[in-house]
Structure 1
Amino acid sequence: MTVTTTPHPTGHPGYSQTLDRIPRSAGAARALVRVALAAWQQEELVEDALNIITELVSNAVAHARLSSIRIIVTRPTENWVRLAVVDRSRTVPQLRSDSNGDQIHGRGLVLVDALSDRWGTDIHRWGKTVWAEMKVEPAP
């Protein structure tokens, strides 16, 4: 499901890091996601979350304009984890509905859509935030 929202402060904990807009920054983004999920005792989300953040970073590396991106991992509510990448491009990513032939690029958002419960783009005056959210299962 694709959603566009207006961001607002929530007071819940978060982690963020500014990284160079280069492919190897995906490794640093994955490390940040691991730390956040471990701190929140949400290890069951790690595998899907690492795939999601890798795809979001890859898209920003390929399509953003400036030399850096910002990775943000938050808990907008107790029931959700949000993975986000902020960049200075206002171009909204599009979920591809075609098979894209034999090309290996262009399918990242299909993976994000499959692994997250919802995802979307927040447009800002200066750029955008592309995010994906995963539902947190309540503790027994």
Structure 2
Amino acid sequence: MPSLKKPVETALASHPTYSETFPCEPSTAEVGRKLVRGILGIWHLDDLADRAELIITELIANASRHTPCPEVRLVVGRPSATRVRIGIVDEEPTRLPVLSHAGEEDESGRGLLLIDAVADHWGCDLQSSGRCLRGKEVWAELHTEGDE
């Protein structure tokens, strides 16, 4: 399991964000699931772990399938006391996620539908440096208990 002693970025003192870079390949999903579950455990949000694991699995699968990027950055944050945000950042800003409807015989194409079903919100933010697009973050948010 990856160490949770990685550098921590903090937007607000009480809202930490964990970020770590991994190879952009399907096997990263297992490491991502363990990392997300561990972080949620630290935050005493174990009740979100099953949904969060599904989300990170699908985000990593989509990045490894639909982008040529060698690496992705997994991001897990608390943008507020009542929300957890899970994302994958890649360096392919031209391949944006599209919610599609797979046919009954299709073996893939349901990842974003699953994310849409289990997340409270999801989306995509383009990443830029100056005027150059550098990539995107595809993310999903889960509300903690007591949040509407």
TM-score (norm 2): 0.83
Contact 1:10–1:77 (8 Å) recurs in 2: no
Higher relative strand content: 2
CA RMSD of aligned residues (A): 1.5
How many residue pairs get matched? 130
Trace 1:101-140 onto structure 2 (pairs within 5 A). Answer: 101-124=104-127, 125-138=133-146
Instruction: Structure 2 unaligned segments of length 5 or more: list them.
Output: 1-9, 128-132
Amino acid at match of 2:25: I
Instruction: Structure 1 unaligned segments of length 5 or more: list them.
Output: 1-8
Identify the match of residue 55 of structure 1 among 58, 72, 88.
Answer: 58
The residue aligned with 2:96 is 92
Identity of aligned residues (%): 39
Q: Give, in whole Å, the separation in 2 of the partners of 1:102 and 1:10.
A: 44
Give the superposition deviation at 1:38.
Answer: 0.3
- 1:32 and 2:46 matched: no
Looking at both structures, which has the greater relative contact order when contacts are Cα pairs under 8 Å and sequence separation is at least 6?
1
Q: Give, in whole Å, the separation in 1 of the partners of 2:102 and 2:22.
A: 31
Q: Give, in whole Å, the separation in 2 of the partners of 1:112 and 1:48.
A: 9
The structure 1 segments of at least 4 consecutive aligned residues displaced by more than 6 Å after TM superposition are none
Q: Give, in whole Å, the separation in 2 of the partners of 1:17 and 1:29.
A: 9
Contact 1:65–1:87 (8 Å) recurs in 2: no
